[in-house]
Amino acid sequence: MALETHTLLVLPAAALLLLIYIRRAAKRHLPPGPPPLPIIGNVLDFPRKHLGREFRELSRQYGDVVYLEVLGQSVVILSSYSVASDLMEKRSANYSDRPQSVMVNLTNLDWIFVFKDYGQEWRRYRRAFHSQFQPAMVEQYQGIQRTVTRNLLRNLLETPERFSYHIKFSFAATILRITYGVTLTQGDTTYHQLVQKLAHIAEDISTPGRHAVEAFPYMLYLPSWAPGGGFKRLAAKWKKDLVAIRDQLYNSAKEMMDKRGLHECVLTRMTAAGEDEEMVRNVTATIYAAGADTTNASVHAFILAMAMFPEVQHRAQAELDAVVSPDRLPELDDQAALPYMRALVKEVLRWHVVAPIGVPHRSVDDDEYNGFNIPGGSIVFVNAWALSRDETMYADPEAFEPARFLRDGELDPDVMDPATYIFGFGRRICPGKIFAEASLFMACASILHAFTISPPVDEKGVPRKMDVDMGNHLAVSHPEPFDCRIVPRDARRAELIQANTAS
């Protein structure tokens, strides 16, 4: 009897010791990273200003797979293309989910399908999104891209000092026409303001560390009026704002369609295909928000680069003059004959990574990689900014040098195309990738063919030194506001712009 009692006492203790041993053994096989502090873990190691750069510093110390524990949450940072490809592409079934977010749940932001959990509904939304941006569909959008880009040139000719507004307006107009069939008239800021507000809210919510409730979920029990409960008031306001923006975009277009018909667009095609109204509202607003904000950030970076690096500008203009000639404006069909211009666009994407760490993924189950254990439920970041600065792929990565993508006057297939990592990985890759690249090429080639871009001058006419200031580099990176001069290359180009402007 005494032996049985002793056994009953020993077995649970042994089981507990075994469990502790297993957990400690698993932790010994976690990827390397800075040692965590009690309770808070690696909170103090988490970046504050420049996520890409600060995560890259951790990877230089600990390797291409870095592990952090932030208030009990496992965080894994991937900082090389080979590792990102191994996990995000080859094991995409395990790494296609999104982390749980309190603010996403409170605002119902997952109607933007980039925030949706991986599952059946996400797949349905993705199919709908993909169907509108297949290569054949993107070709049909070329006429719209051409018209809007040439109107952009006219606006730059008339009021070049407002170049930032003109660029934002241009991309809002393109996406609005493609998505909702609505032609945006010059001076109409309504739709642009809507997309700016939508993008601001989405960016704020997706920025790691922005809201304390993500790290301390117990704050959900705080009343909205209590100290620390302000996030609830903000979330309630944003929830209303987000739905109002989405519905205003949809309802105004639907009203036009019912009254006088719309141009063929995403909305009309999805409606004709019998898609349910809720999904049409959600998908169209997602397309508009994503397409109108990210590419305009890249074009701002292009303008900045041209003002800073005149030798690059002159070489691209020489190629454009030789291939396109001063008698017409560039077309997307010219791309094959413009290798330096194509390399320049690739360098813009690499030099200024719009989403430095992309949108975080979540591991569904425990995984083993190169002897390390990646726990299920980990938040996984791919540091796209670090990939863009990988010295094994790009010599002198901080320099702006399009020629790095060329060999013998043609694009070098052995140099990593930044489009392979800046648009995401695996099943979560951006379905608008082809369209975004086409839009960026059309804008950059057209602007360079028509204008000379240079630094602003001081009161004595001396060019001012321009510094690279790409903003805080958190979830989405926009260049900080800057000044520059944009003037027609000659009178002939000015006439060409006027002759090619849509009425």
Instruction: Could you list the residues known to form a binding site for heme, using ranges.
Output: 430
Element (H or E) spanning 93, and its range? helix 92-95
Secondary structure of residue 488 in the 3-state scheme = strand
Q: Which of 63, 118, 61 is nearest to 92 (CA)?
A: 118
DSSP 210-279: S-GGGT-GGGGGS-TTSTT-HHHHHHHHHHHHHHHHHHHHHHHHHHHHHHH---S-HHHHHHHTT--HHH
Q: Which of 318, 358, 352, 350 is nearest to 415 (CA)?
A: 350
Question: How many Å from the N-terminal Cα to the C-terminal Cα in the chain?
Answer: 99
Give 389's contacts (C-beta < 8 A, 6+ positions apart).
56, 397, 398
Phi-psi sector, 187: left (phi>0), alpha (psi -120 to 50), beta: left
Secondary structure of residue 463 in the 3-state scheme = strand
Q: In whole angstroms, what is the distance from residue 19 CA to residue 114 CA?
A: 38
Element (H or E) spanning 374, and its range? strand 372-374
Q: Which of 421, 88, 203, 417 is nearest to 76 (CA)?
A: 88
Element (H or E) spanning 4, and its range? helix 2-28
Q: In whole angstroms, what is the distance from residue 451 CA to residue 494 CA?
A: 9
CB 59 within 8 A of CB 79: yes
Q: In whole angstroms, what is the distance from residue 300 CA to residue 479 CA?
A: 7
Secondary structure of residue 468 in the 3-state scheme = coil
Annotated binding site: 430
Secondary structure of residue 375 in the 3-state scheme = coil
Residues forming a β-bridge with 282: none
Give 417's contacts (C-beta < 8 A, 6+ positions apart).
346, 405
CB 45 within 8 A of CB 34: yes
SS3 labels along 129-159: HHHCCCHHHHHHCHHHHHHHHHHHHHHHHHC
Q: In whole angstroms, what is the distance from residue 80 CA to residue 463 CA?
A: 39
